[in-house]
Amino acid sequence: MNVQNRPLIVFLVILSFLTGIIGGIGGIALVASSKTLQKSVGIKTDSGIAFPAQEKVESISVKEDSAVVSSVKKVSPAVVSVVFTKDIQVINPFGSQFGMPDQSVQQQQGGGSGFILTSEGLIATNKHVADVDGAKYTVITQEGKKYDATVLAKDPSSDFAILKIDAKGLPVVEFGDSDNLDIGQRVIAIGNALGEFQNTVTVGVLSGKERTLTATDSSGGQSEPLEGLLQTDAAINEGNSGGPLLNLKGQVIGINTATAAKGQAEGLGFAIPINSLKSAVDSIKKTGKIVRPYLGVRYVVVDSKISAIKGMKNDSGILIVGGTNQPAIVIGSPADKAGLKEGDVILKVNNDDVGKDKSLVGVLTKYQPNDEVTLHILRDGKEMDVKARLGEMPS
C-alpha cells in the first residue's frame, strides 16, 4: 500500500463511520415520530404496548364519557327539586320596651332533591327532607314547573319518603339492580346541590357496599342508623339528598342520602340501594302506604372481638344486644314470640346470610308481614333453627 494514500484512507473510514451514526439517529427519529412506521415494523414501547394503544385508551375514555352524557340526558327530566317552607314564631323579649311586637313570624326554608316514580306524580325523596312538621312542600321540575306536594308516606326503616303532586304524563326513572354492582364501577349523582343549583351532576366510582352509619340531620338534632348503604366518591352536597344515584345505563341504583361531616373526610357519600326500596314503592302503589316486615330485635354486627368471645370460627352474623334503656328484644314482637334471647347470634334468615356483608334490614325487605321465616342462630355455642312470623313495622 502506498504510504502517501494512507491519510486519505483513514479519512474515508472516519467519514463513513460518522455518516452511519448520523443516518442511524435520523432513522430512529423518523420511526419514533411515525405511528405508521412503528406499526409496519412492529416496534413497541418500553412497556410492551404498541404506540397505537394510546388511541385505544382515548377511545375507551370517550365511550365512557358518552355513556355519562347519555345517562344524564335520559334521567334529568325526571329529577326534581323539593323545597319546603314553614312559618315559625320568633319571640322578641325586648319588643315591648321599644314599641315593637313581642312576637313575629319568620319563614324557614330548606330543600332537597327527588325523582319521579310514576307518570301520575309519585316522587321519591329522603325522609329527612319530607319530615318537617307543619311545612309546605313544593316540587319544581327540570322545566321549572312548580307543583304543591303532599307527603304521602315515610318509610319507618330507612331514610325514604314518597311525595304526591297533581300531574299527569310526567317522565319517570328506570330502576337498576343494586345487588348486581361492582366496586370501582362508574356512578353518577344528580341533585339540587346546596338547595340552589338544580340538577347538578357529579361523577365518581362505587367505593363500597353494605356500609352502616348513623346519619344526623343538618340541625344536629335527630339521628338515624342506616344499614346496607352504597358508598361513593361522587360529590354529594346539601340539597343532593333524595336525588338518584345512577349507573352508566341511566338506571337508578340508589337514593343519595348522606355525606361525611365537613372537615372529617372528603369523597365519602352514601346512598340507599334501590333494591331495598322496591318493595316499599310497590306497597305504596297498592295500598297507599309503606308496609315493612318487622322482627323486633336490637343488635350489633359480629366483628373479630365478638366472634372470639363467642368462640365462633368466622366473623359472621348479628349479635342480639340491648342499649341504654333499650331492650334487646322488643316486648310482644315477633322475635319475642319466637323465643329469641339477648346474646343469640342470628346467622341466617332462611338461606340468606346476615352480618357485615348483608344487613338484616336488607334481607327482610324480601318478605312481607305475616311471612314465616327460619332463623339460623347460635346460642350458647350451639347452632339451631328458630321459626318466626314477621310482623308489620310500626310507623
- End of a domain among 261, 287, 313? 287
- List, for residues 203-219, the tens digit of each pLDDT value: 999 999 988 876 655 44
Residue 65 in 3-state DSSP? helix
pLDDT at res. 62: 64
298 and 276 in one domain?
Answer: no
Q: Which of 231, 263, 287 is the last residue of a domain?
A: 287
Do residues 311 and 372 both lie within one domain? Answer: yes
For the question of residue 241 being annotated catalytic, the response is: yes
Q: How far is CA 241 from CA 4, 43, 124, 135, 160, in A?
A: 95, 53, 11, 17, 10
For residue 311, tell me if it sits in a domain.
yes
**Cβ(306)–Cβ(332) below 8 Å:** no
| Cβ-count burial 87-121 (b if 16+ within 10 Å, e if not) | eeeeeeeeeeeeeeeeeeeeeeebbbbbbbbbeeb
Instruction: Give a yes or no: residue 58 inside a domain.
Output: no
Closest Cα partner for 117 from 174, 199, 198? 174
Residue from 159, 207, 279, 316 carrying the catalytic annotation: 159
Residue 128 annotated to the active site: yes
First-to-final CA distance of the chain: 113
Angle value at C-alpha 211, between 207 and 214, nearest 5 degrees = 125
% residues pLDDT > 90 (the chain): 43
Is there a single domain that holds both residue 276 and residue 302? no
Q: Are 269 and 236 in contact (CB under 8 A)?
A: yes
Q: Does residue 32 lie within any of the structural domains? A: no
- Last-in-domain residue among 241, 262, 287: 287
**pLDDT for the residue 219:** 45
Q: Is the domain of 299 the same as that of 387?
A: yes
Using one digit for the tens of pLDDT, what is the confidence trace for 36-63?
545 554 545 454 555 455 555 556 556 6
Does 277 reside within a domain? Answer: yes
210 and 302 both lie in a single domain? no
In this structure, the answer to whether residues 269 and 299 fall within a common structural domain is: no
Beta bridge partners of 111: 83
Distance, in Å, from the CA atom of 122 to the CA atom of 159, rounded to the nearest integer, reads 17
* Residues of the chain under the 70 pLDDT cut: 1-64, 87-108, 193-197, 214-224, 260-267, 395
Together in a domain, 388 and 299: yes
Catalytic position from the list 81, 113, 128, 279: 128
Structural domain count, the chain = 3
CA separation, residue 373 to residues 124, 265, 333, 368, 391 (Å): 30, 40, 14, 10, 11
Give domain status of residue 270, yes or no: yes
Task: Supply the pLDDT for residue 37.
Answer: 46
Give the structural domain span for 382: 293-392
Q: Which stretch of DSSP H or E encloses residue 15?
A: helix 6-32
Same domain, 119 and 199: no
**pLDDT at residue number 211:** 87
In a domain, 93, yes or no: yes
Catalytic entry in 157, 178, 207, 241:
241
**Range 325-342 burial, b when 16+ CB lie within 10 A, else e:** eeebbbeebbbbebebee
- Hey, what's the cell of 209? 357496599
The per-residue pLDDT for 64 is 65
Domain membership flag for residue 210: yes
196 and 281 together in one domain: yes
CB 47 within 8 A of CB 109: no
Indicate if 224 and 315 belong to the same structural domain: no
Residue 235: inside a domain: yes
Question: Around 91, how many Cα atoms within 13 Å sit in the side-chain half-sphere?
Answer: 1
What pLDDT is stored for residue 75 in this prediction?
95
Q: What is the CATH number of the domain that holds 374?
A: 2.30.42.10
- Check whether residue 279 and residue 308 sit in a common domain: no
CATH of the domain at 126: 2.40.10.10
pLDDT 10s digits, 283-311 = 888 888 888 899 999 999 999 899 898 88
207 lies in the same domain as 279: yes
